[in-house]
């Protein structure tokens, strides 16, 4: 595999994404809404009714559950980018020239995966940093100490988030290789959020403790799915079929 070719494809796609407002909005707005909205929600809940909204003992549990939102974000953002990278280019007749070059399937997939992964992970990490800063400003007054950084948040951002992003990209590649419409590809790819949303709900209902150990266990499961989906995505992406039969 020629990594230089893959990086050229990734840079070209990233430059293209910068001109598409719908993709920029999906990359920027969701992390901002979560990273700013959740701290404001907790702050408002604890300052109304004389400050009797959320008991201090429940705040750490709530923060761990809210932190899992960034794993959900990492499973959502790549769908818009990865779907457009394949289906969007097919619709605009710009994918066939790339497939007709000597570039291998692995190089094309790696390049397009990097183009979806890097903006997604960068936006998610930036949102996580903003979230931690705002929550520390809040917790130092209500708990008497800064809650972040924590090992659970580190495991979420540095382990679970990248793995979830990769899994979302692989699913989008599989879906995009079989459909002809960007919106359909995005809608089907967004199904990846369902299991992560279920885990979050379980955390909110105290059915799952979203602590360090649980996040690491979840990360192992995601990693196993990443490996399986990689081989499936590699087998699904067939340039000859896309060039000759994908209409």
Over the Cα atoms of the chain, what is R_g?
A: 20
Highest averaged pLDDT of the listed ranges 42-46, 60-64, 71-75? 71-75
Provide, for the chain, the percentages of residues in helix, strand and coil under a 3-state DSSP scheme, each rounded to the nearest 5: 85, 0, 15
**What pLDDT is attached to residue 98?**
65
pLDDT digits (tens, 9 = 90+) for 228-241: 988 888 777 766 65
- As separate numbers, helices (DSSP H) first and strands (DSSP E) second, the chain gives 13, 0
Give the integer Cα–Cα distance in Å for 87 and 74.
21
- Are the beta carbons of 79 and 189 closer than 8 angstroms? yes
Please give the residue range of the domain that contains residue 172. Answer: 3-245
What is the pTM for the complete model shown? 0.85
Closest CA to 64 of 194, 224, 206, 170: 206
CA atoms within 13 A on the CB side of 155: 16
Q: Count up the domains in the chain and report the number.
A: 1
Instruction: Give per-residue pLDDT as tens, 119-175.
Output: 999 999 999 999 999 988 887 777 778 888 888 899 999 999 999 999 988 888 777
CA gap 193, 72 in Å, rounded? 6
């Amino acid at each position: 595999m020629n990594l230089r070719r893959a990086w050229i494809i990734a840079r070209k796609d990233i430059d293209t994404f910068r001109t598409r407002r719908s993709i920029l909005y999906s990359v920027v707005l969701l992390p901002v809404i979560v990273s700013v909205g959740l701290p404001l929600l907790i702050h408002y809940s604890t300052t109304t009714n004389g400050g009797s909204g959320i008991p201090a003992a429940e705040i750490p549990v709530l923060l761990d559950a809210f932190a899992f939102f960034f794993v959900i974000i990492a499973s959502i953002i790549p769908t818009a980018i990865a779907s457009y990278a394949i289906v969007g280019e097919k619709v605009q007749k710009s994918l066939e020239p790339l497939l007709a070059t000597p570039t291998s399937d692995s190089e094309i997939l790696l390049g397009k995966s990097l183009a979806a992964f890097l903006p997604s992970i960068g936006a998610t990490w930036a949102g996580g940093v903003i979230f931690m800063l705002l929550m520390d400003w809040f917790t130092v007054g209500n708990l008497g100490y800064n809650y972040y950084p924590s090992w659970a948040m580190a495991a979420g951002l540095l382990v679970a988030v990248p793995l979830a992003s990769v899994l979302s990209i692989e699913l989008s590649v599989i879906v995009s290789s079989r459909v002809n419409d960007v919106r359909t590809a995005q809608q089907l790819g967004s199904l990846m959020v369902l299991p992560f949303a279920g885990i979050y709900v379980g955390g909110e209902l105290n059915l799952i403790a979203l602590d360090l150990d649980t996040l690491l266990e979840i990360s192992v499961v995601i990693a196993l799915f990443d490996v399986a989906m990689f081989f499936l995505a590699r087998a699904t992406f067939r340039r000859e079929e896309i060039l000759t039969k994908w209409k």
